[in-house]
Structure 1
Amino acid sequence: MTVISQLQAGNRPTPVAALEARHLVKEFRGFRATNDVSLQINEGEIHAIIGPNGAGKTTLFNLLSGFLRPTSGEVHLFGERVDQLRPYEIVRRGLSRSFQISSVFPTMTVRDNVLVALQSPTPLPHQFWSPLSRLDALGEQAEQILEAVGLGAAHERLAADLSHGEKRQLEIGISLTQQPRVLLLDEPTSGMGSEGIARVIALVREVARGRTVVLVEHNMSVVAELADRITVLQYGAVLASGRYDDVRQDPRVIEAYLGEEGH
């Protein structure tokens, strides 16, 4: 049955899993930071992972992106098992991420931060005696990325001189240099005022065109604005998963995390 005939028959096509966690367990000296976590993130959706401090969100992100290896369980990216791969190998298969703590080079310009990231999958970083003119081929691509994340006019500024929100925009731009099919964003609006949050919401919507986005986020108004589906973690385990309007009504979620926000 084709997709069109499925729709005509009233049946939705089966979602394609972009990223899957299967029974993930991560132990640190007997403490389980993630406890049998299974979730499916579908291709093309924005999926938010929420939960109180200590729920295991960052550990889960590190497992999904290869910065930690699971004690048991598996991670699959578009059907391929990737949990035994190194982070750069996972990046080359289409997954990129940002971090909760700013990870830009502060003494370099905004443009040069992007250029360094663009070089990484090429032979250029290992060709120390190559003329700088070889970077010119990447310059146009760098400018396009900076325009896409709203930093086109800031390309010659030092990264250290950017505001907190602008650094977040730059980090997302750096993530985009690897042309990811799946983008993981760790608390992209953390520490921002309302103006910065509005810019990041618009940016996430833009970069989500044609790719899958997974974000850890504490700001529930941001989650409500962006997420197609959400997964709630508590004590390292999945408490609930589904569409925002459904999950926010779950009494377990209200009690554990949302409080009055769930009403």
Structure 2
Amino acid sequence: MTAQTQLAPPIGVVNGPSVALEARNLIKDFRGFRATNDVTLAIREGEIHAIIGPNGAGKTTLFNLLSGFLKPTSGEVRLFGERIDTLPPHQIVRRGLSRSFQISSVFPTMTVRENLLVALQSRSRLPGQFWTPLSRLETLGPQADAILADVGLADSHARLAADLSHGEKRQLEIGISLTQEPRVLLLDEPTSGMGSEGIDRVKALVRQVAQGRTVVLVEHNMSVVSELADRITVLQYGSLLASGSYDEVRQDPRVIEAYLGDEGDE
């Protein structure tokens, strides 16, 4: 009798370092349309992991499933081994997963610092009421100031969020995500609509916030992906097409045909 054959793990499943965030056979149907099709994905603790794919590939749906904003038709999502797809988003946040959104989601008529104070309130023992005077949140000021320094907005603390540039709003949104002290941070299109200066600023910020935590990002800019990502997952038509390092993925004929085009020959 021959020795038992060692089978390679399915695409998206990894051996080695512990898994921070895991999708198991995720399916999401919308009235007969299958947006994600049996997606199995394991994201290692401490890595920067990029999710890429052409428009309509299911990236945003997958992000919403991972963060609890959508419930799967079938399958599971696990955070550090605990199943979380049955939980509401605010409970998932409390377990260590936070996310940003592609569309700006700050309070425009509040200052930069006030935005952070309000976000910090949700983790404090202060009453969670919109009519709570901002002056009562000043006990959270040192935490807000530390986050402002981390995201490069210390000098802009008194500016209205509405007056920030697009890139600065992204910095603020990441800062708001950090108020929840996440172990896993999901960033949806963090450099979308930016010029080169803004992109460089956000790349540096992503590297910084990735220290000591896991970062998952959806990103169209392949230059950003190649510089930041430890591993990449490629989606096509809601299914997982490939997963690996940037060099492995960019040389995969299926990925070249589906997404990268001539970039695979560069």
| Fold shared by both chains (TM-score > 0.5) | yes
Cα deviation for residue 124 of structure 1 reads 2.0
Would you say 1:164 and 2:166 are equivalent positions?
yes
Would you say 1:248 and 2:250 are equivalent positions?
yes
Cα deviation for residue 132 of structure 1 reads 4.9
Q: 1:58–1:130: structure 2 CA closer, same or farther, 3 Å change rule? A: closer
Would you say 1:22 and 2:24 are equivalent positions?
yes
RMSD over equivalenced CA pairs, Å: 1.3
| Match among 96, 102, 106 for residue 108 of structure 2 | 106
Structure 2 counterpart SS, 1:125: coil
Would you say 1:80 and 2:70 are equivalent positions?
no
Cα deviation for residue 261 of structure 1 reads 1.1
Distance in 2, matches of 1:129 and 1:166, equals 27
Which residue of structure 2 lines up, in the alignment, with residue 10 of structure 1? none
Which residue of structure 1 lines up, in the alignment, with residue 9 of structure 2? none
| Match among 223, 232, 236 for residue 221 of structure 1 | 223
* 1:130-145 mapped onto 2 (5 Å cutoff): 132-145=134-147
Structure 1 counterpart SS, 2:127: helix
Which residue of structure 1 lines up, in the alignment, with residue 192 of structure 2? 190
Distance in 1, matches of 2:51 and 2:130, equals 41
Tell me the TM-score normalized by structure 1: 0.93
Q: 1:18–1:251: structure 2 CA closer, same or farther, 3 Å change rule? A: same
Distance in 2, matches of 1:27 and 1:132, equals 43
Q: Deviations over 1:104-128 (max 9, x none)?
A: 0101100000000000122323467
Contact 2:50–2:229 at 8 Å: present in 1 too?
yes
Cα deviation for residue 140 of structure 1 reads 0.9
Q: Deviations over 1:122-172 (max 9, x none)?
A: 232346786654322100110110110010000000000000000000000
Which residue of structure 2 lines up, in the alignment, with residue 54 of structure 1? 56
Structure 1: tracts of 5 or more residues without a match:
1-12
Contact 2:17–2:45 at 8 Å: present in 1 too?
yes
Cα deviation for residue 15 of structure 1 reads 1.2
Distance in 1, matches of 2:56 and 2:21, equals 23
Which residue of structure 2 lines up, in the alignment, with residue 41 of structure 1? 43
Residue-pair matches, total: 251
Displaced runs of 4+ in structure 1, greater than 4 A? 127-133
Q: 1:140–1:51: structure 2 CA closer, same or farther, 3 Å change rule? A: same
Distance in 1, matches of 2:128 and 2:121, equals 10
Q: 1:127–1:252: structure 2 CA closer, same or farther, 3 Å change rule? A: closer
Distance in 1, matches of 2:134 and 2:256, equals 56
Which residue of structure 1 lines up, in the alignment, with residue 241 of structure 2? 239
Structure 2: tracts of 5 or more residues without a match:
1-14
Structure 1 counterpart SS, 2:108: coil
Q: 1:199–1:128: structure 2 CA closer, same or farther, 3 Å change rule? A: closer
Which residue of structure 2 lines up, in the alignment, with residue 204 of structure 1? 206
Distance in 1, matches of 2:218 and 2:129, equals 37
Identity %: 81
Q: Which amino acid aligns with 1:106?
A: P
